Copies of this chain bind each other. A is one copy, B any other.
Amino acid sequence: MSTGFRIIKNCCTGGARTGKVFTSHGPVSTPVFAPVGSQATVKTLATLDLERIGTDMILANTYHLYLRPGVEVIEKLGGLHKFMSWPHAILTDSGGYQIFSMEGLRRVDDSGVVFRSHIDGSQHRITPQSAIKYQESLGADIIMVLDECPSPVGKFDFIKRSMERTHLWAEICLDSKKDSDQALFAITQGGLYPELRRRSARVLTSMGFDGYAIGGLSLGEPKQLTMNMVELTVPLLPEEKPRYLMGVGSPEDIIKGVERGIDIFDSALPTQVARRGALFTRRGRINIRNAAYRNVAGPVDSECSCYTCQNYSAGYLHHLLRCREMLGYRLATIHNLSFMQGLMRDIRDAICDGTFNAFRDSFFACYKTSDEAVRISQRKKWRQSRKRRDMNRS
């Protein structure tokens, strides 16, 4: 495979490291945050927007693209890079997370999983073999094994059986994969059980993948537990392979993940909250829809050099989001992703300079994180609204 990984610098205290993942669509500097483009578009943004923000890699969802427009359509149109006019690195997930996070009919056994489309309720079947085949057709630079992704608060026996199935599927995925320029990453599971997390890391690393992800976390469990699982998994992963913490993407969690040795992050959070008006600043999140911003002539963040802050006032953004104008969603997304890319650059620079710990401390001294209780209740509400939507659709 042409995808490789080189560590440039390790932090002398703690696990943080900076490096480069090499792909046939260019190198990706790590730690990296990959914005989510589920339907072959990072919502509201064009290629040029993403490039201006300094994006090296994005994530696309096999589940969504399989349903619409169909993997065969994208293959006919020259693969995912050409389809979405994105010449840089792409990572695709296998579909596991989406299938297992949806409500409604779903049947899983060792050979694969039968699920219903959230669009029209039609029935589909995905297997470890087909998950690899689809991702090969899409042609992403990094592809993922099919995993069973249960709620982390499940009972021990359930999580154990599910983890063992993930291991079985990982082996099938590895065997199914053709020689190609694509890197295949395994996904460690095990819920919130340290014993299972450790076993998953040991079993999967023994198979020899191009990289290792930590999956099944950041699904509503307390953040301290997420980080505990990361802490005990990372030391069991090979140092010379990239480590990917799936679905983690708040600024504070990324810094904590980097500190514990994570190289790759993805999350829809920065783009999703942007569309609701929540914008990142060095002092924490603000909500631009609040009446306080109505008359603000200055930018959202005076220290920010993004297109939004350089050209538009906070008052104008407030107006656009209050009016549900699409430009508002785009300008907010540009701002949040610029913040994320700036954060990742600062993190990499700090690791290179040997000042990561000081950077982390000064970040947290300034950045007001969301209250844990508020966060969990908001997430619950959001998941319930998603459930209602999925049920109405099917």
Contacts and interface: CB of A to CB of B under 8 A. Distances in A.
Interface in A226-251: none
Interface string A42-64: 01111110000000000000000
Nearest to A314: B77
A85 B317 CA distance: 11
A16 interface: no
Contact of A76 (B47, B295, B318): B295
Interface string A324-356: 011111110000000000000000000000000
Nearest to A296: B77
A44 B326 contact: yes
Nearest to A315: B77
- Contact-size category for A: 35 or more
Nearest to A85: B311
A39 interface: yes
Contacts of A323: 39, 68
A283 to B, nearest CB: 23
Contact of A69 (B43, B46, B322): B322
Nearest to A308: B46
A312 interface: yes
A313 B83 contact: yes
A316 interface: yes
Nearest to A295: B76
A392 to B, nearest CB: 15
A203 interface: no
Interface in A131-145: none
Contacts of A295: 73, 76-77
A178 to B, nearest CB: 24
A80 to B, nearest CB: 11
A343 B316 CA distance: 32
A323 B60 CA distance: 15
A387 interface: no
16 contacts: A39-B319, A39-B323, A39-B325, A43-B325, A43-B326, A44-B326, A47-B311, A48-B307, A68-B319, A68-B322, A69-B319, A76-B295, A77-B295, A77-B316, A83-B315, A330-B330
